Amino acid sequence: MDYYRYHGLGNDYLVIDPRETSAVTTGLTEETIRLICDRHFGLGSDGILYGPEFDDPDHPERPSVRIFNPDGGEAEKSGNGTRIFARYLVDAGDQRVGERFVIHTKGGPVSAQVTDPRQRIEMGMGTVSFHSTAVGMTGADREVVNESLTVGGRQVVVTAASIGNPHCIVPVANATATLVQELGPAIERHPAFVNRTNVQLLQVLSRSAIHIEIWERGAGYTLASGSSASAAAAAAVRLGRVNRRLEVRMPGGSLQVAVAPDWSVTLVGPVEAVASGYWSDDFKSRLAPPG
């Protein structure tokens, strides 16, 4: 097959396995990524998972995955993306149900365990840092917790976190899709963030549950995001608002997140396979490199 479509809580990705595809065999250009992810002229998706590749000289047995946003940019890490990729590796026969294995990403290694390929995929997402240097923020080296930020003429209070990719969490009384689509683009490209940032509006529901609305760097408004859920949960713990085990609710569904005392994060949630298929000759001609 040339591609496999999966979604995690409505956050959909296309897996392109370089061992199988009959096109894009020399890698993905920004133009090709944008075309494939376009929901009108291509297949449409929230991103592409390109792998597995076995390119780590220290651990040649471990698979790596490259994660691309629909704008053509490359993401460091994705919670939903790596959960989907873990499910794909089991479906493809590279890994077994129940075993724990490691996937390498640009944002660092993540551990995976597929207990139930559809309902329960657990990811060890790595360790959260609130330091400005880890997040990629301008100014003095500091923990960015409850810091004021001017966005479009208004003041918002933010907590910034990195879990291999940057996040800006904004606590609000009522997190809505309308509000995140208003604030998200301005915060994503705010000059304080050197490499742009993902944005989450955080609404605390109880000591054991939060609701977030997500604006994803390079993708826009998103129904669900595993790295966003991880960062927002850690921020809520850091702010003293919730317990270390909690449910993160998003428009696409919920993930269970645990934040350890060392700030390592584990998330658990479902993944659903949707379809697989081949590029048409028409589409392959558009994917072909120039000349």
Listed residue (228, 241, 236, 235) closest to 269, CA to CA: 228
Residue 45 CA from chain centroid, whole number: 13
pLDDT along the chain (291 residues), means of 10: 95 94 70 94 95 86 94 93 97 96 94 93 96 97 97 94 97 98 97 97 98 96 96 98 98 97 97 95 78 47
HEC assignment per residue over 11-64: EEEEEECCCCCCCCCCCCCHHHHHHHHCCCCCCCCCCEEEEEECCCCCCCCCCE
For residue 11, give the amino acid letter: N
Q: What integer pLDDT is reported at residue 226 of this predicted model?
A: 94
Residues 279 and 194 placed together within one structural domain of the fold: no
Residues 94 and 137 placed together within one structural domain of the fold: no
Residue 219's domain comprises 127-265
Residues 33 and 74 placed together within one structural domain of the fold: yes
Q: What integer pLDDT is reported at residue 24 of this predicted model?
A: 63
**CB-CB contact of 46 with 10 (8 Å):** no
Cα–Cα–Cα angle for 38, 251, 225, rounded to 5 degrees:
65
Residues 283 and 239 placed together within one structural domain of the fold: no
Residues 175 and 243 placed together within one structural domain of the fold: yes
How many residues can be counted in the chain? 291
Structure-token match 């989450």, residue found: 200
Residues 218 and 111 placed together within one structural domain of the fold: no
Residues 177 and 283 placed together within one structural domain of the fold: no
pTM of the model: 0.90
**161 phi and psi, to 5 degrees?**
-145, 145
Residue 279 CA from chain centroid, whole number: 26
Q: What integer pLDDT is reported at residue 101 of this predicted model?
A: 96
Judged by phi (left if over 0) then psi (alpha if -120 to 50, else beta), residue 240 lies in left
Residues 256 and 174 placed together within one structural domain of the fold: yes
Q: What integer pLDDT is reported at residue 291 of this predicted model?
A: 47
Quote the number of domains for the chain.
2
